Structure 1
């Protein structure tokens, strides 16, 4: 028996936020001092480095569990299965539900439980739980489901990755321009078909790296220091990712036994275009190869960094032929990889 994707869905929020929308923001440095550069120049630099031109935010009435449920419903419809046959619902997120206009995170009950209720699943043997693993959370959900299905404890799992990062940002931190909202969901199940998950790999680096992404006070000195926002040490993350992620990707591919030349697409977390390109280039250098053209699909230009939602959303867009120069066929081999808060890294090799 193999473990394959039988359904996929995503929810892309309707509010389009362009770089120009940050024109009136009062950006500060870590010391609370205003930048000498204009916001226009700051936004242009961000676009050159990250590739982000636009990002999507949820409307005021929606929360993370809401959009996660939207994506889950689409995945169920795509798979054409009875929701009562789902054995596990794994919801990857980082900040829970944060209602518009508030600063408090709500994760009780779990977001997975809320989705199960919205799907009106009655089966008590359908286990719903949340997973916090930074941006690689959706992949870790896939790895957890893979282990459960290999052990015989599950036959069909729904893995959701959703986040509303627009409600965790410090409006005085220029890094706030990176983050976005979104949701993606996939159904994995045991099947007699060929292919599926061929290998998985996961790691956590915490000794020095645990707080590279963290919660911290606003950069504006007049704001309440006890109100926290998502913060990151960008340079440290960049250096860490370029060193460790290619090695993790290679370990996963080597474990799969697949020749590197057979990989059709490298599906990497949409965090920063320049960083992602450098990671994939270094990955191929480990095999003494040049990075192939069109190997790395990207949707960060229009959708921004939506954390755990980026990879399931990217996959959904590609299989629905929504990205130019990126088409897939049965039998194609994909390498999924991600890095994020923790610091966590993971990957899996998948054959369609």
Structure 2
């Protein structure tokens, strides 16, 4: 028998404040039509002034635990993917651990920007396969509104805040591609491309900084690398694009999503799309889309999913899993 990390529950949380594209028209040289045509985004959510990344993450975690029918102390580990943790340290994951009332196990953050949730899933899978944990709560949560330059129309209109979470549990499988759970992972990074997407501040510079992005270059890398990593992950699982029921991509830009699907030979009817409602929520976008996709009735038990993401670093990767 083969051990698999199987999804037992999913949930998400969005801040109450909804920001439509029209809200930017009085502040920036932009318009609703300009934003929609270039990104597919219609609205996004922004955290309240007193609302932190760990706040959003905790609520998403509670929703995922409820969906799984589990309590906090049923969990062995928490992995939280974020680039916008509340504090330099301790980790946001340990804050979530405390708020959930989880008094055992361990918790830590993963930072791979928009690819963070894919990296977190791969780490959770490794913990389960190695026997170090039987149940892992995997969260993606961000408050990117805190690091946006409101004078930069090329980035300020693209990002939003939110959180999503999955509960993974160890289950025995048969060892073939019909098993439920994570079937394969594929991770990459290339630090030579740091200047394409980064924040121009940090602890060593004693400044928070703002997000900076060379959009055209990121787009060029994204479509090629996302399709390649998705296909590599499928190949590792002994599968092809024809086997895929749903692509659940990082929700960065509708044109990137469309370009990746086309390169993989899959129609948009088989892609879960939430970018119009959430904007780019970085590490939160894939778990948000998984939760919304399940709630919509799109994602059903037994469906084969491919999740893929690319972010600053550059860091990118994909996970193939059967729901």
Normalised to the residue count of structure 2, the TM-score between the two structures is 0.92
Contact 2:261–2:267 (CA<8 Å) still a contact in 1?
no
1:136 maps to: 115
2:171 maps to: 191
Deviations 1:232-276 (A, max 9, x none): 110110111122221111111111112422210111100000111
C-alpha distance in 2 between matches for 1:318 and 1:213: 28
Q: Unaligned regions of 5+ residues in structure 1, if any?
A: 28-37, 98-105, 218-225, 285-290
1:39 maps to: 30
C-alpha distance in 2 between matches for 1:45 and 1:295: 26
2:218 maps to: 237
Q: What displacement does 1:293 show?
A: 4.4
Q: What displacement does 1:227 show?
A: 6.1
Contact 2:80–2:139 (CA<8 Å) still a contact in 1?
yes
Q: Could you say what secondary structure the match of 1:251 adopts? A: helix
Equivalent pairs counted in the alignment come to: 311
Verify: 1:318 aligned to 2:299, yes or no.
no
Normalised to the residue count of structure 1, the TM-score between the two structures is 0.85
Matches within 5 A, 1:164-313: 164-174=143-153, 175-192=155-172, 194-207=179-192, 209-216=193-200, 228-284=209-265, 291-313=266-288
- Bigger radius of gyration among the two: 1
Verify: 1:346 aligned to 2:317, yes or no.
yes
Q: 1:53 to 1:188 in 2, by over 3 A?
A: same
Q: Which residue of 325, 328, 340 corresponds with 2:299?
A: 328
Matches within 5 A, 1:9-20: 9-20=11-22
Deviations 1:113-153 (A, max 9, x none): 10011011112xx1111110110111111100111111111
1:94 maps to: 83
Deviations 1:269-289 (A, max 9, x none): 0000011111221122xxxxx
Q: Could you say what secondary structure the match of 1:337 adopts? A: strand
Matches within 5 A, 1:106-125: 106-123=87-104
Indicate the structure with greater helix content: 2
Deviations 1:4-26 (A, max 9, x none): 1111110011111011101221x
Q: CA RMSD in A?
A: 1.7
